[in-house]
Structure 1
Amino acid sequence: MEGSGILKSSKGKKEDLYHVIHKVPYGDSPYVKAKHAQLVQKDPEAAIVLFWKAINAGDRVDSALKDMAVVMKQLDRTEEAIEAIKSFRFICSKQAQDSLDNVLIDLYKKSGKIEEQIELLKRKLRSIYQGEAFNGKPTKTARSHGKKFQVSVKQETSRLLGNLGWAYMQKTNYMMAEVVYRKAQMVDPDANKACNLGLCLMRQARYDDAYSVLDDILQGRLPGSEDTKSRKRAEELLTELKSRLPQAQFSDLMGLDDDFVKGLEQLMNEWGPVRSKRLPIFEEITPLRNQLAC
């Protein structure tokens, strides 16, 4: 009898470990089978069929609808996913609506439905300033890559504004995008949104403003500046900015004023013949400065 108990205990531990590793829930319901097909069998088509069964059976409908839409998105069935959320979100709980909105925003973004994306983002922002977000609480629990973390209203506002700014960028409405990005940075600044703001300013040919924003990242003045991805993007944007400007103008932007450049040119001349020894950068600067002087 004692041996039997040990075997059962061992079996139970193995099952627990299985569910932890594969992140699938316990049971034998349609939703559990759908998650098994999605995460263990890696069969998204079968998972969608089973998620539909779960929704029709009323089995964990909130999660089933959201998870099904995510799988559909992965299969490029975005239109179908959008219609599914619109058609069945009314049977989901009030607590699930925010998550469904976020999935819908991603679906609109992927399918190129910019107007719908902007309208939904505005509606979510409106609910925040009307005090309706997070069911009146200052924070909410979010999940990313299987990990839970707390998100404040302030962080959520900045995130939504960032998404709205990007949507306006896709419509080439750069003035509106700039306004939104600057609002986002006022609420909760970070390096990623600063990169987008820098790009927005570049698209308006406001290179000095763009340089200032990108320099804040590279000088570590913004939260997230240490992130490798953000720094790399800022460097790439700065390289693009440099390619759009005459070398003389970029030198001025970097703080290389006329006296400084002339001093370097004089030093180069002292080292040897003008044509053979001067650095390429000064060959480019001189004719451009003469043109500007005229």
Structure 2
Amino acid sequence: MASSKRRGGVGGEKKDLFHVVHKVPAGDSPYVRAKHLQLVEKQPDLAIVWFWKAINSGDRVDSALKDMAVVMKQQDRSEEAIEAIRSFRHLCSKQAQESLDNLLIDLYKKCGKVEEQIELLKQKLKMIYLGEAFNGKATKKARSHGKKFQVSIQQETSRILGNLGWAYMQQNNFEAAELVYRKAQTIEPDANRACNLGLCLIKQGRHEEARQALEDVRLRRIYGSGSEDEKVVARAEQLLHELNLINCVSSPFDVGLSVHEEIMERLDLVMNEWTPFRSRRLPVFEEIATFRDQIAC
């Protein structure tokens, strides 16, 4: 009898270990089936079908909708993922709305929907001011590369501003992007954003200011995020090299013009490889002008 229990216990342990190793929940519901198809059987199209079944049956709707959108994005079905979130997010809890917004921003970026991306980023900034971000808490738990860590409101504000700056760069609105990056840097300096600021300044012909921003990164006066430091320094050095080439073009005519155009095209390629204007005063800051200082606190 005892040996039978032990065998049963070992079998239960193996079953539990299976769920831990494959990171799938236990049970026999539509959501569990979807996760099994996604992570174990590697059948994303079938997983999407079962995620739909989970949503329709009310089975872990928060997770089902988010996971389905992620799988759709991986399958180059981002447009469908956007429509799914828009159509069914009302079924999700209040706690899930913020992560759904973050997912939408990534999907907009993937689809090249820059205007929608900008609008949602501005909305998230407004939520921070109103105290609605992080469900009213000062910090939230986040996960990156399997590790959990705490994110503060200041860090989140700086991150959102960085994404907003990049979106403005996609519109060639470099003045607006510069303003956003400078605001983000006053909250939390970051080497990658400093590189983007340098590129904004180059595009505006303000080469000495750009050089100063990039040298701060090259000399490690501003740091990136851990393992990314070397890559960011390499970006700064690449931009400084392009900046030197621009300054070597002595004449804007004939051969000099073609060289200058070639360098600017190379800068555009650099910007596209990194994928994370009308007024000196950003629309988002016009909307939140009365609380811009509070955001930095």
TM-score bracket, shorter-length normalisation: 0.7 to 0.9
Structure 2, unaligned runs of 5 or more: 251-297
Find out whether 1:45 has 2:45 as its counterpart.
yes
Within a 5 Å distance, the mapping from 1:72-221 to structure 2 comes to: 72-221=72-221
Q: Distance in 2 between matches of 1:28 and 1:143?
A: 27
Q: Deviations over 1:108-135 (max 9, x none)?
A: 1110111100000000000101111111
Structure 2 length-normalised TM: 0.81
Q: Distance in 1 between matches of 2:163 and 2:113?
A: 13
Q: Deviations over 1:178-226 (max 9, x none)?
A: 0000111111111111111111111112111111111111111113287
What amino acid sits opposite 2:184 in the alignment? A
Find out whether 1:28 has 2:23 as its counterpart.
no
Larger mean CA deviation between 117-126 and 147-156 belongs to: 147-156
How big is the shift at 1:5? 1.4
Structure 1, unaligned runs of 5 or more: 249-294
Larger mean CA deviation between 52-61 and 23-32 belongs to: 23-32
1:42 aligned counterpart, secondary structure? coil
Q: Which has the higher contact order (CA 8 A, sep 6+)?
A: 2
Contact kept in structure 2, 1:218 and 1:225, CA below 8 Å: no
Residue aligning to 1:236: 238
What amino acid sits opposite 1:120 in the alignment? L
What amino acid sits opposite 2:79 in the alignment? E
Q: Percent identity?
A: 68
Q: Distance in 2 between matches of 1:225 and 1:145?
A: 13
Q: Distance in 2 between matches of 1:147 and 1:62?
A: 21
Q: Which has the larger radius of gyration?
A: 1
1:141 aligned counterpart, secondary structure? strand
What amino acid sits opposite 2:196 in the alignment? N
What amino acid sits opposite 2:25 in the alignment? P
Q: May I ask how many residue pairs the two structures share in their alignment?
A: 248
Contact kept in structure 2, 1:178 and 1:197, CA below 8 Å: yes
Alignment CA distance shift 1:6-1:134 (3 Å): same
How big is the shift at 1:247? 7.6
Structure 1 length-normalised TM: 0.81
Contact kept in structure 2, 1:168 and 1:177, CA below 8 Å: yes
* Alignment RMSD (CA, Å): 1.4
Q: Distance in 2 between matches of 1:49 and 1:149?
A: 33
How big is the shift at 1:144? 2.5
2:141 aligned counterpart, secondary structure? strand
Q: Distance in 1 between matches of 2:15 and 2:196?
A: 46
What amino acid sits opposite 1:186 in the alignment? T
Contact kept in structure 2, 1:225 and 1:231, CA below 8 Å: no
Residue aligning to 1:289: none
Q: Distance in 1 between matches of 2:86 and 2:63?
A: 15
Q: Distance in 2 between matches of 1:244 and 1:225?
A: 30
